[in-house]
Amino acid sequence: MELSLFLAKFLGLYLLILAVLFCFRREQLEMSLKEVFASPGMLLLAGLLSLSAGLLIVIAHPVWECNWRVLITIIGYIAIVKGIVRIGHPQIAKEMMGRIIKKCSHCRVVILLVVALFLIYHGFQ
């Protein structure tokens, strides 16, 4: 349970900071993301980091209970899939990022905020 609380605090604060930054610096961050996805080396590095973080979460926190803690495990698996796609299929990753950037940026921020606040609530409870 201590690991769940730590990861909820860490991931919640991380996602909250990202959401706030996207609120105030959206254009700059989207431009930076386009540059990362345009560079094969940076895309590989982003994939390796995502894969590593996802594996660490999934190995350390394999919780499949029907409560808030499963969200942490799901985030780990999402990070693994992102890492594999970025490393193994960079063209698909570029196409997906292009579609994500074009779509509703406010929706992304709201989703990030909801997940962040949910994790922060449970982590600091």
pLDDT digits (tens, 9 = 90+) for 61-77: 999 999 999 999 999 99
Cα(118)–Cα(71) distance, rounded to whole angstroms?
10
Q: How confident is the model at residue 2 (pLDDT cuts 50, 70, 90)?
A: very high
Q: How many domains does the chain have?
A: 1
What's the mean per-residue pLDDT of the chain? 93
Residues of the chain with pLDDT > 90, as a percent, come to: 74
Cα(112)–Cα(125) distance, rounded to whole angstroms?
19
> For residue 43, what are the domain limits?
2-123
Per-residue pLDDT, 59: 98
Residue 66: how many other CB atoms lie within 10 Å: 6
Distance, C-alpha 113 to centroid of its chain? 12
Residue 30: how many other CB atoms lie within 10 Å: 16
Per-residue pLDDT, 105: 74
Residues of the chain with pLDDT > 70, as a percent, come to: 100
